[in-house]
Amino acid sequence: MKESITITDNRSGESIEIPIEDGGVDSGPWTKFLPGLWFKDEGFAATAVTNSSITYIDGGAGQLEYRGYPIEDLASKSTFTEVAYLLVHGELPNSESLDDWNSKLAEHAQLDAVQNENLLNCFSSHSHPMGMFTAGLAALSTLYPDAKDVEDPETRQKHVLNAIAKVSTLASSAAAYRNGYTPGKPNEELSYVENFLSMTFSTSDKVFEPNPTFVKALDQLFILHADHEQNCSTTAVRVVGSSHADPYSALSAGSAALSGPRHGGANEAVLNMLDDIGTFENVNSFVDSVKNGEGRLMGFGHRVYKNYDPRAQIIKDTAHEIFELTGKNPKLDIALKLEEAALEDDYFVSRKLYPNVDFYSGLIYQAMGFPVEMFTVLFAVARTAGWISHWDEMLSRNTRIARPRQLYIGSETRNFISIEDR
């Protein structure tokens, strides 16, 4: 079998053969052969923006791997910081490099106290924490002028670590501020996730001591959310990063993209949807309303997974472990009934719509005591490891600036009409 495709321009009868490499065809020969003829692909449904060695997804098989390691193994045998190291460096750390990585993350977790306090004071207890988190990332860009030297690998590595270290403090300080508490300081003795929970839930007079089962579950959720190849927010980070903006500005763009309900904001939207459905008896009529085009079933569907989302399988099991401890979240029954109704319905089956990572994660976050508005921030803290790994990978290859083309369908050239004559 020949690993190539042939394109024939029927206007001229000329053909070109383009080799298939790594499962794709390069646009270079295409654009040379057909100058000015663009490949229309809204939503990038058929466009590979890069070669990447970070994350592999087989959507048909429901397979997800980070650097070649199956997500199931990482979720059950690894820790979030170990996975972050793997994403960034390409290999699992040995115990010495992991200790070093963890101590450096702890060392760099502290935010600039004055800037953070001033920034938080711009917000109120009603401010959405995703907006606060996004603003916090953009504000970090003002503190590190050296981060603009994006072509220097050592500088990049320094800020890769700094970003992963700082985001947990940024997120927890937003949560604490909204609850009316002075944001806590990171404690270098605690693990990444313990520290995050402690800073989020400690009050002025009581230091929160996280339950080890919660720590394990949140650590696992962070692993599951750490990367997902060229999703909407990673693409936003890459597009901004391709202009050689500093990494914090690029991450801030990623966070803004993640906040939307079709992406990371879906975990919050799922809980709001379950609240709207209210009771078990309303599930079928809700499913009918979705089929009538009155809204989407949040937490369902995925561009790449067309069979099942392996992250959702793992999360469903974790949800049961957490509920054994906290008592069942009453919304679980509605969610289970909703899943059952959708999976039996031809509308969802024919469109290959299955529960995704966001369908059950919010139920766990809520059982742990997180307010609904914080759910997407938790996703963002974990995804920072993926965003920054893709940013570094892109810059290490001196990728061109992201600059798509368009097919213009507006007015032809026309004469300007002065305002009196309009």
Number of neighbours of residue 403 by Cβ within 10 angstroms: 8
Among 228, 302, 309, 392, which one carries the catalytic annotation?
Answer: 302
Give the three-state DSSP class for 389: helix
Candidate residues 102, 116, 134, 231; the one interacting with ligand CMC per rule CB under 6 A: 231
Q: How far is the CB of 378 from ligand CMC (least distance, A)?
A: 13
Dist CA 38 CA 316 (whole Å): 43
Beta-strand runs (E) in 1-119: 4-9, 14-21, 24-25, 55-58, 63-66, 69-70
Among 159, 225, 228, 263, which one carries the catalytic annotation?
Answer: 263
Q: How far is the CB of 415 from ligand CMC (least distance, A)?
A: 41
Q: How far is the CB of 240 from ligand CMC (least distance, A)?
A: 18
Only one residue has tokens 């997120």, namely 171
Q: Which residues, 6+ apart, have CB-to-CB distance to 184 below 8 Å?
A: 172, 173, 176, 198, 199, 202, 207
User: Is 302 a catalytic site residue?
Assistant: yes
**135: contact with ligand CMC by CB under 6 A:** no
Residues 250-289 that bind ligand CMC (CB under 6 A): 262-264, 266
Candidate residues 77, 244, 320, 351; the one interacting with ligand CMC per rule CB under 6 A: 351
Q: What is the DSSP string of 302-359?
A: -SS-SS--HHHHHHHHHHHHHHHHH---THHHHHHHHHHHHHT-HHHHHTT--B-HHH
- Residue 232 in contact with residue 263, Cβ under 8 Å? yes
Residue 96: alpha-carbon gap to chain centroid:
29
**356: contact with ligand CMC by CB under 6 A:** yes
The one segment of 7-15, 174-182, 292-300, 326-334 that binds ligand CMC by CB under 6 A: 292-300
In the bound state, the residue with its beta carbon closest to ligand CMC is: 301
**298: contact with ligand CMC by CB under 6 A:** yes
Residue 254: alpha-carbon gap to chain centroid:
8
**386: contact with ligand CMC by CB under 6 A:** no
User: Is 263 a catalytic site residue?
Assistant: yes
**228: contact with ligand CMC by CB under 6 A:** yes
Candidate residues 156, 178, 302, 331; the one interacting with ligand CMC per rule CB under 6 A: 302
- Residue 395 in contact with residue 389, Cβ under 8 Å? no
Residues that bind ligand CMC (CB under 6 A): 43, 228, 231, 262-264, 266, 290, 296-303, 351, 353, 356-358
**What positions carry a catalytic annotation?**
263, 302, 358
